[in-house]
């Protein structure tokens, strides 16, 4: 006794140690808890004091330290306090798209020495950018855009030697662009940085020549929409890596440096809306240029430069109001990708000749306000041409090109996927797959797309599929992505509305949203190249679903998982010991009680169910065995005869835990084992042996005896007899040699089920259930249909087993009974689970899950993956095999034709509909499987017709029939002896 006490004590201490070991660092826990009190709309699962092991949403830890905070689009409100600077292991902070986060950014941010990603895009921060931000030596990604920061760009940013992404755009920053001088750092030192995004601020001063050098690796220089003055520094021409240059919408003056055309990788060049002078820029040799905008500058009058006709990648040429004169060369129109030509307000004269070999992508030729006197209509250019304000439109000209076209076609919007859009309840939208749900939405801003034909759907479909693919890769449950209303805004950004719809549910969880927000804010998502640099601003999401199992738990660190597993294992052992002691004690007390108070029962008293009794109805049929008979049949319950797992489950501990969870710990508590035995008659049987003594165990025992004695069907496991004595409580079943369906599907039993066999198994099990529902009197609900409870006989006929949880429906009029929820997770009817209303449709649901298991051979509920949801999400009725190939059991031979597969899937999905009313009855299921088998060219009758007749005949008074009259087909079952 003493020894066990010490052992227990040690185990408990070990357990505590492991749990304490996994807890969050107390200081960091305090920081997060203070964050919680300072900010509104923190995720509701931020409770307790151990963020790391309790899986607080948006918090990622290693061991005990917080390394990442991801709270994009949470609707956070309030000011960020300086406490945040104490999370000294923090690597990534994403608070993007929380416009309610206001006030200054605390300077203590500079204490986060491990920070690599600081993402605050789309918040409401104001005040200066703290210069301490330059003390983050590991910072790679800095996104402060679309806030209300003001003041200067801190020169210390120049110290961020690892910086890759610098986005300060869309703020109220003023002053000049800092460059280094003496000990003072500057942005010219950022030789690793690829992105300078400073657009939409109030920056003044010149663009320092020092800013650029041949050492730089910039690919995007975006300075648009500021108040920069002076001339474009010639040093820009040294940055050979550049791909996108936007200096438009400033006050730049002077000549365009002549070496600009050395930037041969540039695809987007915007110099428009400045005061640039001198010769029209020479862009010859910039062969990958897609889009050029030089409009609204004061270049000296010049002829249209012939080099444009050699820029074969050009999609868009804008040179409005740039003093171009003379004839427009017809060769320009032959550029194969040309979409838009904006040459308004120039000095072109003569007759316009578009030629007959013009680009088939050409959508708009805008030559308003020139001096064009004629139009040579040669090749029948069909799209928009604007010549208003030219002599050719003078007087009473009525030509089409003299009037502004009225655009009637609505802007692009993702069309429905060959389905009829649903009328959705308030606030929900119909997805492209016509499912109603609450989408995650916002606007994508493309700062320099390489195309200008906004009506061309192919751009959006490729954007759409790249978004969808990216969400899928990152394991966000996305049904579909919808894009709409593309338009150019005042900054010449392409704006596109985005809606992302959740898969298999009405709304996204917080962790889904935070993940999608991060994918877009951290630029994990990369749009197709033609869309160029982008940013996203999310709308607020007001319909978070309750967090699902993919939430916080996944973010547990390895240490915690190991700790929890070891702890869980120890707990399990303790329970096991407890169960053992409990059983022993109960057996003892039960025996003692009987010995004392019921002396006439002492000894090997047997209970005879054929005599009338309180607890049993009068029964005929099953034989009453003495424990001695069964002892002999099993060679004294020898281990060699212990078949444990074969359908009744040696898994008593598992059963115990299951029933413990379901609030019924005594069920199966004291199951001793399942044995194979040979009766004196030679019949093979399976004997389920449990400890007597508990009243609930007794109830279950009587239930099973009673039910099984009344039902007889080839697809139900038959009860041969039972034993009920003081010390023994046993059920004797017909022996079903091929184990459980689960064993076959998992490959454990060595039986391979091809498609036809699976159909046959499904049919058999369905018939057994249909018999219970429709022909048994009173009808019976099984309540625990699962692949573990479907056995396969020697001919692989299915037999439904384990009636321990079954309920007769006799005493209810409407076929509904209210009862405590029992059954097995993964198979449980959600409606029954929520309402406690049990009816036959709950079995149909479980059966639907079994059908899905037949298809996929997957565990119904595993690691938060639920088979019903998986199939529902993956399934696409437009595709061959409904696109389910990846989910299908590979043992089915995926190259084989699986005839009737689609109908089988349809049937399974109808069985697992949300509400019972939508599910078929078991007899309808039987008919449908028969129809599918006929389609597959199989015979549905040969094996079962006579037996069906038998079972039907037996239904009115099944227990009046002699069991011996039923057919126990198969080699193992000699003529029934009873
Ligand atoms: C050029 O300036 C005019 C007048 O300010 C403006 O309407 C037009 O949009 C500008 N063109 C471009 C291409 O920016
Ligand atoms: C176009 O204008 C130029 C002067 O800018 C003139 O020399 C030329 O003759 C004109 N061409 C035509 C066809 O009117
Ligand atoms: C975030 O972005 C950076 C820079 O693009 C990248 O290196 C990093 O892998 C991204 N992080 C995640 C988790 O995608």
Residue whose tokens read 């579909």: 480
Highest CATH level, class, for 430-542 = alpha beta
347 CA: nearest ligand 2 atom: 5
Between CA 312 and CA 351 the distance in angstroms is 24
For residue 667, what pLDDT is reported? 43
Between CA 172 and CA 129 the distance in angstroms is 11
Instruction: Tell me, using a 6 A CB cutoff, whether residue 749 lines ligand 3.
Output: no
Q: Closest Cα to residue 723, out of 695, 780, 685?
A: 685
Task: Determine the distance separating the centroid of ligand 3 and the alpha carbon of 524, expressed in angstroms.
Answer: 6
Task: Determine the distance separating the centroid of ligand 1 and the alpha carbon of 293, expressed in angstroms.
Answer: 11
Other C-beta atoms within 10 Å of 771: how many? 27
Task: Determine the distance separating the centroid of ligand 3 and the alpha carbon of 431, expressed in angstroms.
Answer: 29
User: Which carries the bigger pLDDT value, residue 506 or residue 942?
Assistant: 506
Write the DSSP string, 619-688.
Answer: --SSEE--HHHHHHHTTTT-GGGB-TTTTT-S-HHHHHHHHHHTT-TTTTTTEEEEEEEE-TTS-EEEEE
Residue 581: pLDDT band with limits 50, 70, 90 = low
Task: Determine the distance separating the centroid of ligand 1 and the alpha carbon of 220, expressed in angstroms.
Answer: 24
CB proximity list for 584: less than 8 A, separation 6 or greater? none
Q: Taking 70 as the threshold, does the pLDDT of residue 541 lie above it?
A: yes
Fold of 597-734: Phosphorylase Kinase; domain 1 (3.30.200)
Write the DSSP string, 236-256.
Answer: GGG-TT--EEE--SS--EEEP
Residue 583: pLDDT band with limits 50, 70, 90 = very low
For residue 574, what pLDDT is reported? 57
For residue 953, what pLDDT is reported? 30
Q: Taking 90 as the threshold, does the pLDDT of residue 595 lie above it?
A: no
For residue 143, what pLDDT is reported? 98
Chain segment 778-834, per-residue pLDDT in tens: 788 888 899 989 999 888 889 998 876 677 776 555 566 666 667 777 888 888 877
Nearest CA to ligand 3 atom 1: 522
Question: Which of 328, 329, 349 has the most ligand 2 atoms within 8 A of CB, as the residue to mutate?
Answer: 349
User: Which ligand ends up closest to the CA of 274?
Assistant: 1
**For 106-115, 249-258, 541-550, 577-586, which range has the lowest pLDDT when averaged over its residues?**
577-586
At how many degrees (to 10) do helices 755-770 and 840-856 cross? 170
Instruction: Tell me, using a 6 A CB cutoff, whether residue 117 lines ligand 3.
Output: yes
Do 226 and 273 form a contact (C-beta atoms < 8 A)?
no
User: Which ligand ends up closest to the CA of 343?
Assistant: 1
User: Which ligand ends up closest to the CA of 303?
Assistant: 2
Between CA 226 and CA 228 the distance in angstroms is 6
Q: Average pLDDT over the chain, rounded to whole?
A: 82
Average pLDDT over residues 422-443: 91
- Distances in Å between the Cα of 48 and the Cα atoms of 51, 63, 98, 240, 344 are 8, 18, 24, 54, 66
Do 778 and 799 form a contact (C-beta atoms < 8 A)?
no
Nearest CA to ligand 1 atom 13: 295
Question: Which of 273, 346, 366, 367 has the most ligand 1 atoms within 8 A of CB, as the residue to mutate?
Answer: 273
Task: Determine the distance separating the centroid of ligand 1 and the alpha carbon of 261, expressed in angstroms.
Answer: 24
For residue 558, what pLDDT is reported? 46
CB proximity list for 973: less than 8 A, separation 6 or greater? 683, 684, 734, 735
User: Which ligand ends up closest to the CA of 523?
Assistant: 3
User: Which ligand ends up closest to the CA of 328?
Assistant: 2
Residue 177: pLDDT band with limits 50, 70, 90 = very high
Q: Taking 90 as the threshold, does the pLDDT of residue 751 lie above it?
A: no
Task: Determine the distance separating the centroid of ligand 3 and the alpha carbon of 522, expressed in angstroms.
Answer: 6
Instruction: Tell me, using a 6 A CB cutoff, whether residue 141 lines ligand 3.
Output: yes
Task: Determine the distance separating the centroid of ligand 2 and the alpha carbon of 347, expressed in angstroms.
Answer: 9
Instruction: Tell me, using a 6 A CB cutoff, whether residue 522 lines ligand 3.
Output: yes
Between CA 112 and CA 753 the distance in angstroms is 58
For residue 231, what pLDDT is reported? 97
For residue 945, what pLDDT is reported? 34
Between CA 63 and CA 425 the distance in angstroms is 45
Nearest CA to ligand 2 atom 4: 326
164 CA: nearest ligand 3 atom: 4
Between CA 148 and CA 199 the distance in angstroms is 13
For residue 604, what pLDDT is reported? 34
Residue 9: pLDDT band with limits 50, 70, 90 = very low
Average pLDDT over residues 211-224: 97
Between CA 587 and CA 727 the distance in angstroms is 8
Chain segment 236-248, per-residue pLDDT in tens: 999 999 999 999 9
Q: Taking 60 as the threshold, does the pLDDT of residue 384 lie above it?
A: yes
Task: Determine the distance separating the centroid of ligand 3 and the alpha carbon of 111, expressed in angstroms.
Answer: 21
CB proximity list for 535: less than 8 A, separation 6 or greater? 121, 145, 146, 167, 169, 444, 445, 447
User: Which carries the bigger pLDDT value, residue 652 or residue 319?
Assistant: 319
Residue whose tokens read 């928009």: 384
Average pLDDT over residues 732-755: 85
Highest CATH level, class, for 1-196 = alpha beta
Other C-beta atoms within 10 Å of 426: how many? 4
Average pLDDT over residues 335-362: 94
Q: Taking 60 as the threshold, does the pLDDT of residue 915 lie above it?
A: yes
* pTM flag (> 0.75): no
Average pLDDT over residues 957-977: 30
Between CA 631 and CA 677 the distance in angstroms is 9
For residue 155, what pLDDT is reported? 97
Q: Taking 50 as the threshold, does the pLDDT of residue 669 lie above it?
A: no
Q: Closest Cα to residue 374, out of 392, 362, 395, 358?
A: 392
296 CA: nearest ligand 1 atom: 1
Instruction: Tell me, using a 6 A CB cutoff, whether residue 356 lines ligand 3.
Output: no
For residue 550, what pLDDT is reported? 40
CB proximity list for 124: less than 8 A, separation 6 or greater? 98, 99, 100, 101, 102, 147, 148
Average pLDDT over residues 946-957: 32
Nearest CA to ligand 3 atom 8: 524
Q: Taking 90 as the threshold, does the pLDDT of residue 587 lie above it?
A: no
Q: Closest Cα to residue 477, out of 545, 576, 412, 562?
A: 545
Between CA 970 and CA 684 the distance in angstroms is 11
For residue 946, what pLDDT is reported? 34
Do 359 and 334 form a contact (C-beta atoms < 8 A)?
yes
Tokens of 334: 């032959």
Other C-beta atoms within 10 Å of 565: how many? 11
351 CA: nearest ligand 2 atom: 13
**For 356-365, 502-511, 601-610, which range has the lowest pLDDT when averaged over its residues?**
601-610
Nearest CA to ligand 2 atom 8: 326
For residue 696, what pLDDT is reported? 55
Domain boundaries defined on the chain? 1-196, 430-542, 597-734, 742-947
Residue 198: pLDDT band with limits 50, 70, 90 = very high
Q: How many Cα neighbours within 13 Å face the side chain of 464?
A: 23
Average pLDDT over residues 579-596: 41
Task: Determine the distance separating the centroid of ligand 2 and the alpha carbon of 398, expressed in angstroms.
Answer: 25
Q: Taking 50 as the threshold, does the pLDDT of residue 23 lie above it?
A: yes
For residue 601, what pLDDT is reported? 35
Which residues contact ligand 1 via a Cβ below 6 A? 272-273, 293, 295-296, 318, 320-321
Q: Closest Cα to residue 228, out of 199, 197, 251?
A: 251
Do 493 and 445 form a contact (C-beta atoms < 8 A)?
yes
Cis-peptide, bond into residue 949, ω within 30° of zero: no
For residue 338, what pLDDT is reported? 96
Write the DSSP string, 416-442.
Answer: PSSSPPPPPPTT-EE-TTS-EE--EEE
Q: Taking 70 as the threshold, does the pLDDT of residue 606 lie above it?
A: no
Name the catalytic one among 225, 784, 829, 843: 784
Nearest CA to ligand 1 atom 10: 296
**For 419-423, 667-671, 889-893, which range has the lowest pLDDT when averaged over its residues?**
667-671
Task: Determine the distance separating the centroid of ligand 2 and the alpha carbon of 326, expressed in angstroms.
Answer: 6
For residue 17, what pLDDT is reported? 42
Between CA 570 and CA 669 the distance in angstroms is 20
For residue 291, what pLDDT is reported? 96
For residue 648, what pLDDT is reported? 40
For residue 964, what pLDDT is reported? 28
Nearest CA to ligand 1 atom 8: 296
Fold of 742-947: Transferase(Phosphotransferase); domain 1 (1.10.510)
Average pLDDT over residues 901-919: 92
Residue whose tokens read 């001793």: 672
Write the DSSP string, 551-598.
Answer: SGGGG--HHHHHHHHHHHHHHHHHHHHHHHHHHHHHHHHHHHHHHHH-
Encode 891-918 in three state secondary structure. Answer: HHCCCCCCCCHHHHHHHHHHHCCCCHHH
- Distances in Å between the Cα of 845 and the Cα atoms of 238, 713, 772, 848 are 69, 22, 15, 5
Task: Determine the distance separating the centroid of ligand 2 and the alpha carbon of 300, expressed in angstroms.
Answer: 17
User: Which carries the bigger pLDDT value, residue 743 or residue 78?
Assistant: 78
User: Which carries the bigger pLDDT value, residue 718 or residue 191?
Assistant: 191
φ and ψ of 286, to 5 deg? -85, 75
User: Which ligand ends up closest to the CA of 353?
Assistant: 2
Question: Radius of gyration of the chain from Cα atoms?
Answer: 38
For residue 710, what pLDDT is reported? 76
**Does this chain's domain 1-196 share its CATH topology with 430-542?**
no
User: Which carries the bigger pLDDT value, residue 259 or residue 960?
Assistant: 259
For residue 810, what pLDDT is reported? 60
Q: Closest Cα to residue 213, out of 187, 195, 231?
A: 187
Q: Closest Cα to residue 196, out of 231, 234, 245, 126?
A: 245
Q: For 31-58, b where at least 16 C-beta lie within 10 A, e where not — what string?
A: bbbebeebbebbbebbeeebbbbbbbbb
Chain segment 134-153, per-residue pLDDT in tens: 999 999 999 999 999 999 99
Q: Taking 50 as the threshold, does the pLDDT of residue 969 lie above it?
A: no
Residue 688: pLDDT band with limits 50, 70, 90 = confident
**For 15-29, 219-233, 581-595, 617-631, which range has the lowest pLDDT when averaged over its residues?**
581-595
Residue 275: pLDDT band with limits 50, 70, 90 = very high
In sign, the C-alpha dihedral spanning 459, 465, 466, 471 is: positive
Q: Taking 90 as the threshold, does the pLDDT of residue 619 lie above it?
A: no
For residue 570, what pLDDT is reported? 56
Percent of the chain predicted with pLDDT > 90: 53
Question: Which of 321, 367, 490 has the most ligand 1 atoms within 8 A of CB, as the residue to mutate?
Answer: 321
Q: Taking 80 as the threshold, does the pLDDT of residue 424 lie above it?
A: yes
Between CA 629 and CA 721 the distance in angstroms is 12
User: Which ligand ends up closest to the CA of 452?
Assistant: 1
Nearest CA to ligand 1 atom 12: 295
Residue whose tokens read 């009115």: 956
Alpha helices in 771-896 (DSSP H): 830-835, 840-856, 867-874
Q: Taking 60 as the threshold, does the pLDDT of residue 428 lie above it?
A: yes
Average pLDDT over residues 185-205: 97
293 CA: nearest ligand 1 atom: 13
For residue 652, what pLDDT is reported? 43
**For 96-105, 312-321, 360-369, 399-408, which range has the lowest pLDDT when averaged over its residues?**
399-408
Q: Taking 80 as the threshold, does the pLDDT of residue 397 lie above it?
A: no
Percent of the chain predicted with pLDDT > 70: 80
Average pLDDT over residues 890-900: 82
943 is catalytic: no
Task: Determine the distance separating the centroid of ligand 3 and the alpha carbon of 519, expressed in angstroms.
Answer: 9
Nearest CA to ligand 3 atom 14: 524
Number of H helices, E strands in the chain: 16, 46
Which residues contact ligand 2 via a Cβ below 6 A? 325-326, 349-350
Question: Which of 166, 522, 525, 533 has the most ligand 3 atoms within 8 A of CB, as the residue to mutate?
Answer: 522
């Amino acid at each position: 006794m003493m020894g066990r006490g010490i052992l227990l004590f040690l185990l408990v201490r070990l357990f505590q140690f492991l749990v304490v070991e996994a807890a969050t660092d107390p200081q960091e826990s305090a920081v997060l808890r203070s964050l919680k009190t300072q900010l509104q709309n923190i995720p509701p699962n931020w409770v307790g004091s151990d963020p790391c092991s309790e899986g607080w949403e948006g918090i990622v830890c290693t061991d005990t330290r917080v390394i990442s905070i991801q709270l994009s689009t949470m609707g956070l409100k309030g000011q960020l306090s300086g406490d945040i600077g104490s999370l000294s292991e923090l690597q990534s902070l994403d608070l993007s798209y929380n416009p309610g986060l206001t006030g200054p950014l605390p300077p203590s941010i500079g204490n986060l020495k491990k920070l690599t990603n600081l993402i605050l895009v789309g918040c409401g921060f104001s005040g200066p950018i703290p210069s301490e931000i330059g003390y983050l030596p590991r910072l790679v990604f800095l996104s402060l855009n679309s806030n209300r920061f003001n003041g200067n760009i801190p020169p210390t940013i120049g110290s961020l030697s690892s910086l890759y992404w610098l986005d300060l755009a869309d703020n109220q920053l003023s002053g000049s662009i800092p460059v280094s001088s003496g000990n003072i750092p500057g942005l010219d030192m950022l030789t690793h940085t690829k992105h300078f995004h400073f657009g939409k601020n109030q920056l003044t001063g010149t663009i320092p020549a020092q800013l650029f050098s041949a050492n730089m690796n910039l690919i995007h220089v975006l300075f648009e929409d500021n108040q920069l003055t002076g001339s474009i520094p010639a040093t820009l021409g040294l940055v050979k890596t550049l791909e996108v240059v936007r200096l438009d919408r400033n006050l730049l003056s002077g000549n365009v440096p002549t070496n600009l055309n050395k930037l041969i990788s540039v695809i987007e060049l915007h110099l428009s809306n400045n005061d640039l002078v001198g010769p029209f820029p020479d862009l010859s040799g910039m062969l990958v240029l897609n889009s050029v905008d030089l409009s609204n500058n004061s270049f000296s009058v010049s002829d249209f430069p012939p080099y444009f006709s050699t820029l074969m990648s050009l999609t868009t040429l804008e040179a409005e109001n740039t003093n171009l004169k003379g004839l427009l060369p017809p060769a320009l129109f032959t550029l194969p990708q040309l979409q838009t030509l904006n040459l308004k307000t120039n000095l072109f004269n003569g007759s316009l000749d578009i030629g007959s070999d013009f680009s088939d992508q050409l959508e708009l030729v805008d030559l308003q306000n020139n001096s064009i006197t004629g139009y040579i209509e040669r090749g029948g250019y069909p799209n928009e041409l604007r010549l208003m304000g030219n002599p050719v439109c003078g007087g009473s000209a009525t030509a089409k090109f003299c009037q502004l076209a009225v655009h009637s076609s609505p802007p692009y919007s993702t069309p429905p996927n060959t389905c009829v859009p649903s009328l959705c309840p308030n606030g929900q939208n119909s997805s492209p797959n016509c499912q109603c749900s609450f989408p995650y939405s916002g606007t994508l801003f493309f700062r320099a797309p390489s195309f200008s034909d906004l009506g061309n759907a192919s751009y959006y479909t490729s954007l759409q599929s790249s978004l969808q693919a990216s969400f899928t890769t990152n394991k966000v449950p996305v049904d579909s992505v919808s894009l709409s209303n593309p338009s150019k805004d005042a900054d010449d950004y392409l704006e596109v509305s985005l809606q992302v719809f959740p898969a298999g549910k009405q709304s996204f969880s917080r962790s889904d949203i935070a993940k999608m927000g991060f994918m877009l804010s951290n630029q994990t998502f990369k749009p197709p190249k033609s869309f160029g640099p982008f940013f996203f601003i999310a709308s607020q999401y007001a319909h978070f679903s309750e967090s699902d199992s993919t939430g916080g738990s996944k973010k547990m660190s390895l240490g915690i998982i190991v700790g929890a597993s070891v702890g869980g294992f120890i707990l399990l052992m303790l329970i096991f010991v407890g169960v053992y002691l409990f059983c022993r004690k109960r057996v003892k007390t039960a025996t003692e009680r009987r010995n004392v108070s019921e002396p006439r029962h002492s000894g090997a008293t047997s209970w005879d169910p054929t005599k009338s009794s309180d607890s049993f109805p009068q029964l005929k049929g099953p034989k009453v065995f003495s424990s001695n008979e069964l002892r002999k049949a099993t060679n004294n319950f020898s281990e060699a005869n212990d078949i444990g797992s074969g359908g009744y489950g040696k898994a008593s501990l598992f059963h115990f835990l299951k029933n413990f969870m379901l609030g019924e710990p005594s069920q199966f508590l004291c199951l001793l084992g399942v044995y194979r035995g040979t009766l004196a008659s030679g019949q093979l049987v399976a004997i389920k042996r449990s400890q007597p003594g508990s009243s609930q165990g007794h109830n279950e025992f009587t239930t099973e005896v009673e039910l099984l004695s009344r039902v007889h069907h080839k697809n139900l496991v038959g009860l041969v007899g039972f034993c009920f004595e003081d010390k023994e409580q046993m059920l004797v079943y017909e022996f079903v040699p091929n184990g459980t369906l689960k064993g076959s599907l998992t490959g454990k039993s060595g039986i391979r089920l091809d498609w036809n066999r699976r159909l046959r198994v499904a049919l058999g099990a369905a018939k057994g259930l249909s018999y219970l529902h429709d022909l048994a009197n009173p009808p019976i609900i099984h309540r625990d249909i699962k692949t573990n409870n479907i056995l396969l006989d020697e001919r692989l006929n299915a037999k439904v087993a384990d009636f321990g949880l079954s309920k007769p429906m006799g005493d209810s009029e409407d076929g509904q009974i209210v009862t405590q929820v029992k059954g097995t997770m993964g198979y449980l009817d959600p409606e029954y689970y929520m309402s406690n209303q049990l009816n036959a449709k709950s079995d149909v649901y479980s059966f639907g899950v079994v059908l899905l298991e037949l298809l996929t051979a997957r565990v119904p509920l595993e690691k938060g993956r639920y088979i019903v949801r998986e199939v529902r999400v993956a399934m696409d009725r437009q595709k061959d095999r409904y696109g389910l190939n990846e989910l299908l059991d590979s043992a089915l031979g995926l190259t084989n034709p699986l005839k009737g597969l689609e109908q089988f899937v349809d049937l399974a999905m109808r069985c697992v509909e949300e509400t019972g009313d939508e599910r078929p009855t078991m007899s309808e299921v039987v008919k449908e499987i028969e129809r599918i088998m006929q389609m597959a060219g199989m015979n549905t009758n040969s094996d079962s017709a006579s037996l069906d007749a038998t079972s039907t005949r037996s239904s009115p008074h099944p227990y009046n029939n002699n069991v011996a009259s039923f057919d126990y087909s198969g080699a193992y079952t000699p003529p029934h002896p009873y």
